[in-house]
Copies of this chain bind each other. A is one copy, B any other.
């Protein structure tokens, strides 16, 4: 057996220092930098350029050409309208009476690109109004994800003045997430007096008495309320 002193000398042989090296050869990968996906830009350009449009929406005097196949692939309501058993297969003019042109424009933008256009130029109140209208449109045309985006944006701007009106809207247009958020906001803000004093509250009380039953029952279940 070797002694400890001898073991320590294992790298020193015949008066030479033995150095152990580990060499890693890094193979240079030949990679090509890809540009980002251009599909969404292509879809936005299709909407703007109107090429191949086969349906025209008339919204309070403004005209919006669009593509039936894209509308139908995004909304079961448009699908039934254009390809259902009652559909008129030819080119079509559709009049939209219940939406403002700016709202319809944003709605089309979402259908084509899955995102809403920038609203940075709008005041907070106008932005809230826009999201309220878009929520109604999303509900009408069965655009589930768009509705959830609108609900999320409205959640972020709840205040005591507007929460009652938004609760009524959420109830009418099946925005269950927004409804829950409104009720939670009303109780957790400790400002129920201000909510009761708001304009929307009177309308809520008169037109949506069923919601108050829901609120009371939730207040029993939830420890927060």
Contacts and interface: CB of A to CB of B under 8 A. Distances in A.
Chain A at the B interface: mostly helix, strand, loop or mixed?
helix
Interface residues of A, number: 44
Interface in A156-208: 156, 158, 177-178, 181, 184-185, 188
Contact of A28 (B29, B37, B69, B188): B188
Contacts of A181: 30, 32
A152 B74 contact: no
A158 B32 CA distance: 14
Interface string A98-124: 000000000000000110000000000
A152 B34 contact: yes
Contact of A83 (B31, B52, B83): B52
Interface of A: 28-32, 34-35, 37-40, 42-43, 45-46, 51-52, 67-70, 72-74, 79, 82-83, 113-114, 144-145, 148-149, 151-152, 155-156, 158, 177-178, 181, 184-185, 188
